[in-house]
Amino acid sequence: MPAIRDVLIWDSERGDAERGDIAIGEDGRISDICPPRSAKRDILFDGRGEAAAIPGLVNSHTHVSMTMLRGLAEELPLMEWLQKKIFPVEERLLPRHIRSGAELALLEMIEGGTTCFADMYYFMREVASAALSFGMRAALCRGLTGDDSQKINENLNLAEEFGGREGRIIIQLGPHAPYTVPRDALARIAGIARDKNLGIHFHWLETEGELEKFKEKYGKENVSPSDYLEGTGLLDAPKLLLAHCVWHPVDELERLCRPNVTLVHNPKSNLKLGSGYAPLREMLKSGANVALGTDGAASNNKLDMWDEMRSAALMHKGYHKDPTLVSARDVLRMSTLSGAAGMGFGDVGLIKKGWQADLVIVDISGPRYVGCGESNLPEFLVYAGDASDVRATIVAGKLLYKNGRHLTADRDEVVAKAREHRQEIMK
Ligand SMILES: [Zn+2]
């Protein structure tokens, strides 16, 4: 039986870590957690007491293929960035570019210990097939704009073809945003989601301008942002990922506090596009399920959950002048269990017997980790850790990456092909 040997294992439920071995069953689930060095054979990784194991990191909002557009437009506000720079290039993208961008993103995410991601884009067969071939877990949707039955059908076909594949792919419906999808179409999509038991992934009030436009349009009808989400039926979808929520009224956060609804915080993208500070303190206080995401690489510009965790933990302390809020443990939970649960992976995000063996092995032997131990692992990881500390990335018990080497992909080949495709796009 494969095992991870002699690592400091983080137990999020207990709130501390303990040295031990993690045994993994044939089904890719954790079959046992046992005393250190009790596993003798089939060792996937030997931590020698100098590495830690945490649940795989979960990136709950991204557009992986946008790695092909990284650096294309910098230092612009969201609407200008999107409409003048991003949309025109996106019109030229072909399936092979989407595939290349996805593979580039998967390399970066796997190297940084991300094991699962929620993605919205188009030509999503390419993304699904790349995720399967690289061994990742993902919740994917076809981005829907306008009232477009053809796009909805594409999304539904995706569900038929890939939904549940190897237990690693969940297909959701992807209405893009309230400013790109009419209210009636949203209601129709929400109805389909309920009928077909599919989750929804949606951008929600990312910028202040969106909230202003929303008020202009719906203020007369006395429809508040929460009324709108409720009225369209989005809040009743089997699962709902609401990306950003930067401008959702704080006094209405409690209305998003439902077991099927997840708010996805994207601190670095919000900072870079100048969108503002999401009310993370209040989101957490409301009891809502809150997850963390990077957004696409054209607006971040990294797909690095370590950077994201650190930004989330730091920026709200500064903004509110209060070092006690948004703890390292909060952001680690947001980046593991809360994200996985929000997508519908109910057995991902804890190192626990019977749960999926989605794990990251982190080297804690270096200078930045002196003093790291059983009681302070999340604080060391979030405040002092770095993606470059990742030594192994494991999904469903399978090693995807170990000691700087990819085991499911040819790194050089992916990068070379992506370079070629980038040139094609920019011609
Ligand atoms: Zn986005």
Q: Which of 343, 361, 386 is the last residue of a domain?
A: 343
Q: Are residues 38 and 149 in the same domain?
A: no
> What pTM value is reported for the model?
0.98
* Residue 366 covered by a domain: yes
Q: How many domains does one find in the chain? A: 2
Q: How far, in Å, from the CA of 373 to the mean position of ligand 1?
A: 36
| Ligand 1 center from residue 225 Cα (angstroms) | 19
Centroid of ligand 1 to alpha carbon of 86 (angstroms): 12
One domain for residues 275 and 393: no
Sign of CA dihedral 74, 78, 84, 89: positive
Q: What is the pLDDT of residue 73?
A: 85
Please name the residue that has the structure tokens 């919740």. 139
Cα–Cα distances (Å) from 400 to 44, 101, 114, 356, 387, in that order, read 11, 18, 11, 15, 15
189 inside domain: yes
Mean pLDDT of 367-376: 97
Position with higher pLDDT, 74 vs 389: 389
Same-domain status, 43 and 141: no
Residue 301: cis peptide before it, omega within 30 degrees of 0: yes
- Lookup: tokens for 279: 């009310």
Q: Give the residue from 298, 326, 343 where a domain finishes.
A: 343
List pLDDT tens digits, range 285-330: 999 999 999 999 999 999 999 999 999 999 999 999 999 999 999 9
- Report DSSP state, residue 64: G
pLDDT score of 77: 85
> What distance in angstroms lies between residue 272's CA and the mean position of ligand 1's atoms?
13
Q: If you measure from the C-alpha of residue 295 to the centroid of ligand 1, how many angstroms do you get, rounded to a whole number?
A: 5
**Chain length of the chain:** 427
Q: 128-183 pLDDT, tens per residue?
A: 999 999 999 999 999 999 999 999 999 999 999 999 999 999 999 999 999 999 99
Is residue 128 a part of any domain in this protein? yes
Domain region containing 283: 57-343
Contacting residues for 251 by C-beta, under 8 A, at least 6 apart = none
Instruction: Tell whether 255 and 379 lie within a shared domain.
Output: no
pLDDT in tens, 105-115: 999 999 999 99
Instruction: Give the distance from CA 390 to its chain's centroid.
Output: 18
- 243 CA to middle of ligand 1, Å? 7
Task: Report which DSSP code applies to 40.
Answer: -
Cα(296) to ligand 1 centroid in Å equals 6
* Residue 33 sits in the same domain as residue 80: no
- CATH number, domain at 365? 2.30.40.10
Residue 109 Cα, ligand 1 centroid: separation in angstroms? Answer: 17
CA 118 – ligand 1 centroid, Å:
10
229 shares a domain with 363: no
Q: How far is ligand 1, taken at its centre, from the CA of residue 291, in Å?
A: 14
Give the C-alpha distances (Å, rounded to integers) separating 116 from 15, 35, 137, 244: 23, 28, 5, 19
In a domain? residue 424:
no
Burial 315-334 (b: 16+ CB within 10 A, else e): bbeeeeeeeebbebebbbbb
How far is the C-alpha of 118 from the C-alpha of 173, rounded, in Å? 11
Residue 290 pLDDT: 98
The reply to whether 254 and 363 lie within a common domain is no
Indicate whether 31 and 70 sit together in one domain: no
Q: Is 195 helix (H, G, I), strand (E, B) or coil?
A: helix
Distance from Cα 164 to the centre of ligand 1, integer Å = 24
Other C-beta atoms lying within 10 Å of the C-beta of residue 154? 16
Residue 417 tokens read as 């092909």
pLDDT, tens only, 186-234: 999 999 999 999 999 999 999 999 999 999 999 999 999 999 999 999 9
Q: Based on the fold, state whether residues 236 and 333 are members of the same structural domain.
A: yes
Between the CA of 171 and the centroid of ligand 1 the distance, in Å, is 17
Q: Is the pLDDT of residue 284 over 90?
A: yes
C-alpha 20 to ligand 1 mean position (Å): 39
The answer to whether residue 413 sits within a structural domain is: no
What is the torsional sign of CA 359, 364, 368, 371? Answer: positive
User: Do 388 and 264 sit in the same domain of this protein?
Assistant: no
Domain end marker among 317, 343, 369: 343
CB 81 within 8 A of CB 273: yes
* pLDDT at 401 (0 to 100): 98
pLDDT in tens, 70-103: 998 888 888 898 899 898 999 999 999 999 999 9
Residue 306 sits in a domain whose CATH number is: 3.20.20.140
Residue 122 alpha carbon to ligand 1 centre in Å: 13
- Percentage of residues in the chain having pLDDT higher than 70: 100
Distance 201 CA to ligand 1 centre (A): 10
Tens digits of residue pLDDT in 37-63: 999 989 999 999 999 999 999 999 999
Contacts of 412 (CB under 8 A, 6+ apart): none
* 230 CA to centre of ligand 1 in angstroms: 22
What are the E-state strand segments in 179-230?
A: 200-204
Residue 364 lies in a domain: yes
DSSP 290-351: EEE----TTSSS---HHHHHHHHHHHHHHHHT-TTSS-HHHHHHIIIIIHHHHHT-TT-SS-
CB–CB of 258/281 below 8 Å?
no
Instruction: Give distance in angstroms: CA of 285 to centre of ligand 1.
Output: 24
Residues 166 and 304 in one domain: yes
- 421 located within any domain: no
* 423 assigned to some structural domain: no
CA of 298 to the centre of ligand 1 (A): 10
Residues 177 and 30 in one domain: no
Cα gap 24→5, rounded to integer Å: 11
Residue 392 banded pLDDT, cuts 50, 70, 90? very high
